[in-house]
Copies of this chain bind each other. A is one copy, B any other.
């Protein structure tokens, strides 16, 4: 019973769609401190540390990246993409979240932040491998009956 397809290795990332009372989501822009995708906008979040649960990771990352404490109120879904130069498949889990405390401040990883109406998400230079997932989310939220 030999395997023909190449076995893959995975990394796990967790992000949050932080929605405000007006239904806008928080986008942050990747600064020059990043190795990849500088200048592209994303939902805040980051790698799940070894031994860390994904929901714990996303609350930690949001605190580090935005200064905000958040409550997770749902699971949105997952997407994946290949990071071909390091031979990994990145799995990205996305949670719905709301601000529960803290004071907003950006870390060195981002150089801009905006609260963006979901209908305007498509105007932004979003992370390419994640753009489809983000726009699907916006479309379903804006047209829940479709």
Q: Which residues on A are within 8 Å of B, measured CB to CB?
A: 1-10, 12, 50-51, 53-55, 71-75, 77-80, 89, 91, 93, 98-101
The interface residues of chain B lying within 8 Å CB-to-CB of A71 are 3, 5, 7
Inter-subunit contact B12/A100 (CB<8 Å): no
Bound complex: CA A2 to CA B73 (Å): 13
Inter-subunit contact A99/B51 (CB<8 Å): no
Inter-subunit contact B93/A78 (CB<8 Å): yes
Inter-subunit contact A4/B98 (CB<8 Å): yes
The interface residues of chain B lying within 8 Å CB-to-CB of A55 are 9-10
Inter-subunit contact A77/B77 (CB<8 Å): yes
Looking at A3, A9, A53, A79, the one whose CB has the most chain B CB atoms below 10 A away is A3
The interface residues of chain B lying within 8 Å CB-to-CB of A7 are 71-73, 100
Bound complex: CA A93 to CA B79 (Å): 10
Inter-subunit contact A75/B98 (CB<8 Å): no
Can you list 13 A-B pairs, Cβ within 8 angstroms, ordered by A? A1-B99, A1-B100, A1-B101, A3-B100, A8-B73, A51-B51, A75-B78, A75-B80, A75-B89, A75-B91, A77-B80, A78-B78, A78-B93
Bound complex: CA A26 to CA B100 (Å): 44
